[in-house]
Amino acid sequence: MNIAFDIVNFTIRQMIYFSCILLIGALLLNYSTKIFKFKNLSYRTGLEALFIGAIVAFFISSIPFIGRVLSLFVFLYLIKWFYKESWKKAFLAWLTTVILGFILAIIILTIIDIPILFIPKLTF
């Protein structure tokens, strides 16, 4: 196998994965902001906030434990700043986005027939 081909293949797959996650995450954030009646309800605002947050989180999340906590605060701050809302509303929008993401993941995993949490399916 050619190592250069493997690296290019891996990079392209990661870019596609990042793009899909970013687009779906922005959609979920958009729904969350509609639930809490934010002022700026554009899809682009959520996309910008998540893109910047993902780039910053990529660099600071490598710090053990504290990096993950800092990433959370970065995302909360970006939601607060881009949507011009309070910390409470930013946290509720972030939490709702995470919950909607888990629900969507469970639905997708169920549809493509992958056991959730590695619990085997019961067949009768």
Between 118 and 72, residue with greater pLDDT: 72
Phi, psi of 65 (to 5 degrees): 55, -60
Which tokens hold the place of 24?
């779906």
Are 104 and 24 in contact by the 8 Å Cβ rule? The answer is yes
Listed range (1-5, 35-39, 76-80, 96-100) with the worst mean pLDDT: 1-5
Q: Per-residue pLDDT averaged across 31-35, rounded?
A: 93
Q: What is the mean pLDDT of the chain?
A: 87
Burial (Cβ within 10 Å: 0-12, 13-18, ≥19) of residue 67 = middle
What's the Cα-to-Cα distance from 46 to each of 23, 38, 56, 59, rounded to whole Å?
9, 12, 15, 20
Q: In this predicted model, what pLDDT tens digit does every residue of 41-57 receive, in sequence order? A: 889 999 999 999 999 98
117 pLDDT band (50/70/90 cuts)? low
The pTM of this model reads 0.80
